Amino acid sequence: MTATATRPAPPTPPARHARRRRFSRQTREMWVLMLPALVPVLLFSVGPLLYGIALAFTDARNTRNHETSFVGLENLGDLLTAEDFWSSFRIGMIWAVSVTGLQFLAALGLALLLNQDLRFRGVARVLAVVPWAMPPVVIGLMWKLVYHPDAGILNSVLGTHVNWLADFSLALPAIIVVGVWTGMPQTTVVLLAGLQNVPRELYEAVEVDGAGRWRKFWNITLPQLKPVIVAITSLDFVWNINQFGLVYVLTQGGPGGQTRLPMLFAYEEAFRYRFAGYASMLGLAMAVVVLAALGLYLWRQMREAK
Amino acid sequence: MTVTTRGGAAGLRRVPQYLALLAYVVFLAFPLLWLLSTALKTPREMALADPTWIPREPTLANFADAFGEQDLVGAATRSLVVALASSVITVVISLPAAYAIARYRGLVNRIAIGWVLVSQVFPFILIIIPLFMILRDLELVNTLPGLVVVHVTFTLPFALWMLQGYVRAVPAELEEAAAMDGAGRIRTIVGVVAPLLAPGVVATLLFAFISSWNEFLFALVILQDPDVMTLPLTLVRFTGPEGVARLGPLAAASLMATIPSLIFFAIIQRRLKSGLMAGAVKG
C-alpha cells in the first residue's frame, strides 16, 4: 500500500530494547499461543479452501465412488457458456448492488435523524438494531408471513391479491426490500458512530460563514464520513453477494430462477446435482469477481483521497 | 442527553424530520408486529379472507402447539448444545492466539489478521464443498460434533479479531509492572490480565454463541437427517405446502427462536457501536 509509505515512522517505545533481547523466546511463546487456533483453521478452513480451488479444475462429483480426474479449464468453459449461470450472475449483481445502495441511503438517512436531538429517537434506535438480532431464517419466515398471498398483511393493506414471492417480475424487488430491512442496522450503527466522530469545530467554522444545512452536509459531513462509508459499503457488498440463507428461506431461488442468487445456484449444483467440481469453479469465479470489484472500488477511493 | 426546550418555530421546522423518523419506525416495526400478530391468532382466524392487525380472539395456543410440532424441543436442545460447545471451544482456543497477536509484532500476526479479513470475502460455497467431503471421510456428516467443528472454524477469525482488540485495551505496562514485582508469567496473566479481560471474553462468548445458534447454511449441508437437525433447519421444514393452518405455530416458534439473540443484543448494545466501529474502519 502506498498510503502507508508516506506516513512518518512511529516513535520507538523505550521498552523496545528489552523486548528485542527476548526475541527468540518470544517467537517460541507466540507459536505455542497460536497453535490451538492455528490447527483448526489450517485443517478446516485454509486446507478446504485450497482443496476447493483445486476441485474447480477437476470433474469431481459429490458422491462416494467417483474417479476424479483433472480437466483443466473445462468447468470454466462450461460455466461461461451456461445460460443459467449468466442469468444467476445478473440476478446476483442486481441484488447485491441495489441492496447495498438502498441500504446505504436508508441507513444514512436514519443515522442523520438519530444524530439529531429528536424525541422518540430512543425507540427508533432500539428498533434499528432488532433486525440485526434476529436469526436470518426467522427474518425470512417473518417476511414470508408479510408477503403471504392469503394470510399476509401486505395484500390486505394494499388491497391487492398478489403472490409476491411467486410473481416473475415482483419476486426480486420483494426480496430486495427484505435485504435492505435485514442489513440496515449494521450500516446505520456504523454510520451513526462515524457521524458522532466528526469534530464539532468543523461545523462551527463554516457556521461563521453562514453555511446552511446542505452545505454543511456536503462540505463537512460527507467528506469526513468518507472512510467509514467506503468501509461499510464494501463489507455490505461482499455480505450481500454471498447471501444465501435469507433468500433460500424466502423463495429457494424461485419462481423459475428469478431470485436464484449465485450462491443458491452453486448450492444446487453442488448438493442437489452433486457437480462438486463445477460448483467449486462457480465459487472461485465469484470470489475473483468480488475481489476484483472490491479492489477496483477501494483503489478508486484511495486515488481520489490523495 | 441534554433536554432542551424548543420554541414553536424550531419545533415546526422539525416536522419533516419527525415524519421521516416515523416512516423508518413503521418500516422497521411492521414485519415484527405482523409476526407477533400471527403468533397470537387462532387457526380459524388465519383462514379468514381479510387478515387483521389485532387478533380478534388472541391465544397463546400456538406457542404450546409449536412445542408439539416437528420435534421443536429436540431441535432447540441440539442448537443449544452445538452453540454452547462451539462458543466455549472458540474462545478457549482463540484467547491465547489473540493475546499473541495483540502483544507481539511480527509476520505471523500480520498473516493472522490478513486471514481474518480474507475469510470475510471468500464465498462459503468454495469451502463448504471440500469441507463436506472431508467431514464425510471423517464420518462426521449428520453429527453434531461435525457441525461444532465447522462453527468453531468459522467463528474463530472474528472472535480472534474481537479478543485481540480487548487484549490491546489492557495496558502492557500493567503486565510489566507485575513482572517487576516478581510475579511469574502465569501469575501475571491470571492475576492481572484475566480480570480486565473478563467482559471482553463474555462478549466474545455471546457473539460466538449467537453466530452458531443462528447459523443456517453449514447446518443445511452437514445435517441432512431430520433427527439431528438444529432449530433453523427445523423451522424451515415447518413451512410446507399445507397452507395457512400451521402459520400460527410457525410464527410462535420463530419468536421463541429469536429470544437468545435478543438477550445477547440487550446485553452488548452499548459495546456494539465502539467495537464495530473499530472493526469497520480498520477493515
Domain assignment of residue A38, yes or no: no
Q: Are residues B29 and B150 in the same domain?
A: no
| pLDDT of res. B11 | 64
Tell me the pLDDT band of B245, cut-offs 50, 70 and 90: low
Strongest mean pLDDT among A92-101, A182-191, B247-256? A92-101
Nearest by CB: B280 against A156, A232, A262: A232
Which of B14, B95, B125, B149 is the best residue to mutate to test the A interface, defined by the most A CB atoms within 10 Å of its own CB? Answer: B125
A-chain residues near B257 (CB < 8 A): 135, 137-138
Domain of B14 in residue numbering reads as: 8-62
Asked if A103 contacts A184 with a C-beta cutoff of 8 angstroms, the reply is yes
A-chain residues near B136 (CB < 8 A): 64
Nearest by CB: B21 against A48, A120, A280: A120
Nearest by CB: A141 against B176, B250, B265: B250
Q: Are residues B157 and B50 in the same domain?
A: no
Q: Are residues B79 and B198 in the same domain?
A: yes
The number of domains in chain A is 1
Distance in angstroms (rounded) separating the CA atoms of residues B268 and B201: 12
Q: Do A266 and B123 touch (CB under 8 A)?
A: yes
Q: Are residues B51 and B81 in the same domain?
A: no
Distance in angstroms (rounded) separating the CA atoms of residues A224 and B282: 16
Domain assignment of residue B1, yes or no: no
Domain assignment of residue A59, yes or no: no
ipTM of the modeled complex: 0.82
Q: Are residues B43 and B146 in the same domain?
A: no
Q: What is the pLDDT of residues B20-67, one digit of tens each?
A: 999 999 999 999 999 999 888 887 787 776 777 888 888 888 888 887
Domain assignment of residue B254, yes or no: no
Segment B198-224 shows an average pLDDT of 89
Q: Are residues B74 and B113 in the same domain?
A: yes
| pLDDT of res. A247 | 93
Radius of gyration of chain A (CA): 25
Interface of A with B in 256-285 (CB under 8 A): 262-263, 266-267, 270-271, 276, 279-280, 282-284
Distance in angstroms (rounded) separating the CA atoms of residues A243 and B239: 21
Domain assignment of residue A241, yes or no: yes
Q: What is the CATH number of the domain that holds A300?
A: 1.10.3720.10
A-chain residues near B281 (CB < 8 A): 227-228, 231
| pLDDT of res. B27 | 92
Domain assignment of residue A89, yes or no: yes
Q: Do B247 and A52 touch (CB under 8 A)?
A: no
Torsion of CA B260, B263, B269, B270, to 10 degrees: -130
Q: Are residues B151 and B215 in the same domain?
A: yes
Residue-by-residue DSSP string for B203-256 = HHHHHHHHHHHH--HHHHHH--SGGG--HHHHHHHH--TT-GGGHHHHHHHHHH
Biggest alpha carbon–alpha carbon distance for chain B: 78
The number of domains in chain B is 2
Segment A90-109 shows an average pLDDT of 95
Segment A194-202 shows an average pLDDT of 86
Q: Are residues B111 and B14 in the same domain?
A: no
Domain assignment of residue B263, yes or no: no
Domain of A89 in residue numbering reads as: 75-305
- pLDDT(B5) > 50: no
Provide the mean pLDDT of chain A. Answer: 84
Interface of B with A in 98-117 (CB under 8 A): 99-101, 104, 106, 108-109, 112, 115
Q: At what angle do helices B61-68 and B72-103 cross, to 10 degrees?
A: 80
